[in-house]
Structure 1
Amino acid sequence: MTVYGVTGGSGALGRLAVRELLARGVVAHEVVALARTPSKAADLSALGVQVRAADYGDLRAQTAALAGVDRLLLVSSSEAGRRVAHHANVIEAAEKTGVSRIVYTSMLNVDGSTNPLAGEHRDTEAILRAAAVPFVTLRNGWYTENYTDQLGSYLERGEIVGAAGTGAISAATRQDYAEAAVVILSQDSDSARAYELGGPAFALAELAQVVHEVTGTPVAYRDLPTGEYVAALQSAGMGEDTARFVAALDTSIAHGDLQTDSQDLAHVLGRPPTSLADAVQDAYAGAAENDRLAPSSSRPAESSVARAALRSFGDL
């Protein structure tokens, strides 16, 4: 019997991974979902999954929660600036409890990326290399949902605003990344391997065109110099430091940091990743059904995009 653990089990990516394990025939009681607040994973408990309390920042809780776990999906912590300490706790706990394999959700092109989020992932990979647990890194690209979740804003404003220039983004859906993670977690592939995972690349101007084609509403991409984008974010109510951080994410896209020609994701999935058009269509249909297309006037579009960007490599 192999027991699978998933950190961030109540989050968007972690929950999808847990459900994917069940869909692939893993018995529910052989799946452990680690969650800071177990009540947020009540739906998984109802399916028979073991939900255990484990805050990333609590080494003792992590050690207790990993007891009996054989293979662990380490979903990146959602707290930028604290990820290295959080991940180090999980890795140390995995060593103490005899976990035989860690699969870590890292970041696309992490070795040479200028993205301000990259450093914490590089440092985590270094900790894994020094640890006594075999591991695999999944260097995930941007979530397509970072953009499709903003459809209401795009349609209301008729534009997507950013500072990414013509930089391309090899994004994929959370479901695609979750499926890939479970495939790798279930395999006995070489340890210390890094998969560069991303879908077909698109620039933000192409995203705007796809949104137009799917919804019938004209949407264009308005590219701003970095300084002007920072000012726009501040005018939407964002603090200067955060605005500069978010603008730096777009600047890294302009540099090509979130683009890859790797076909690793398609090879792992055994199928093409979800297309941008299909992702937009699904999001549009779901938003219309749930009356979520009109953004609240208290949430400016720039702030919505910023929130999505800030959680891109974590899992809220």
Structure 2
Amino acid sequence: MSILVTGSNGKFGKNSIEFLLSSGVDAKSIIALVRDESKGKQFQEKGINIRIGDYSNEESLIKAFEGVEKILFISSSDFENRIEHHNNVIKAAKKVGTIKHMIYTSFFRKEEVEKSGNSSVAFVSKPHIIAEDLIEQSGINYTILQNILYTDFLTDLFFGEKVLENGIFFPAGNGIGNYASRKDMAEAAVNILLDEDKQKHLNKKYVISNEESSSFEDAAKILSDISGKTLSYTSPDIATFENTLAGLGVPSVYIQLSVAFGLAIQNNEFNTSKTDLSSLLKRKPTTLKQFLNETYKKQ
């Protein structure tokens, strides 16, 4: 059995490969897709095979996928070219003809929000909706993981580098979300790849979210405990938020991305009672408290 991981140099890809190895998968059975050979040395040192392929080049993907039986298809991080990238991967996988199972990392959205078309993060969800349709039409057995917003995004993008000094300044209002960690999501994907019941996950869609829901106020309280001082959560109006970040020299692209996600959180677009993550992990997912402690206590 050969397992190919696309986007292998990204955090999700690296986590997935580590889980494959720690689960006892022979390194020779793992293939890491990389854009050029220099990016694959870290994998080759572990005995992992590499293949060269680029989401923007369908022919390179066809060559890379030859003989592959299972693919963990990690979605493109290129917002502008995502639809084309995903289309190339799916077409290449179909043309190769050997792939028995494709697992795709999609994006969670609420049905009512999707139908209304009013989501501030529709630019994120639309390419995933298109990809899901293409995968379903491809004839390849699939598992679609509708991943909720990463808890990692809160700490990496939204809280700011000095959160333990200044508290949280982000326009999320009183919104709550069932955020889940990237590591938990990668582990769940690997568990599907390695499940001995080969038919169990075929042509299924799973909601990958946490059991607990949390607000940014909850996060501020946890961070206060970690830092030993009272940290506040401030949810500014959008104009104040934009002007403050612009004054700090933050690029406008990042500001607009933050605003879009802030509005989506305010509207509870990442709050859901649906989740398949616990059953896929065979344990409870990492809580916000556990994640923040792991992230900040070592600092």
TM-score scaled by structure 2? 0.89
Q: 1:278 to 1:85 in 2, by over 3 A?
A: same
Look up the SS of the partner of 1:129 in the other structure.
helix
1:243 Cα offset (Å): 2.7
Give per-residue Cα distances to partners, 1:195-252, cap 9 Å, x unaligned: 1111222111111111111221322111012233233332233454653342011101
Partner of 1:251: 263
Give per-residue Cα distances to partners, 1:113-157, cap 9 Å, x unaligned: 41231111111111112212111110111222222345742023x
Q: Percent identity?
A: 28
Give per-residue Cα distances to partners, 1:243-287, cap 9 Å, x unaligned: 33420111011111112212311111000111111111111233x
Partner of 1:159: 167
Query: In the alignment, which of 138, 146, 167 is matched to residue 139 of structure 1?
Result: 146
Partner of 1:220: 232
Distance 1:127 1:234 in 2: 39
What are structure 1's unaligned runs of at least 5 residues?
289-316
Distance 1:153 1:37 in 2: 36
Distance 1:190 1:20 in 2: 19
Partner of 2:15: 16
Query: In the alignment, which of 183, 203, 207 is matched to residue 192 of structure 1?
Result: 203
Look up the SS of the partner of 2:163 in the other structure.
helix
Which runs of structure 2 are paired with 1:276-295 in the superposition (5 Å)? 276-286=288-298, 288=299
Q: 1:227 to 1:126 in 2, by over 3 A?
A: farther
Distance 1:212 1:141 in 2: 25
Matched letter for residue 177 of structure 2 = I
Partner of 2:61: 62
What are structure 2's unaligned runs of at least 5 residues?
none
Distance 1:8 1:225 in 2: 36
Structure with higher RCO (Cα < 8 A, 6+ apart): 1
Which runs of structure 2 are paired with 1:9-158 in the superposition (5 Å)? 9-98=8-97, 99-109=99-109, 111=111, 112-113=113-114, 114=119, 115-116=121-122, 117-149=124-156, 150=159, 152-156=161-165, 158=166
Look up the SS of the partner of 1:272 in the other structure.
coil
CA RMSD, 1 decimal: 1.8
TM-score scaled by structure 1? 0.85
Matched letter for residue 61 of structure 2 = Q
Distance 2:283 2:48 in 1: 28
Look up the SS of the partner of 1:139 in the other structure.
strand
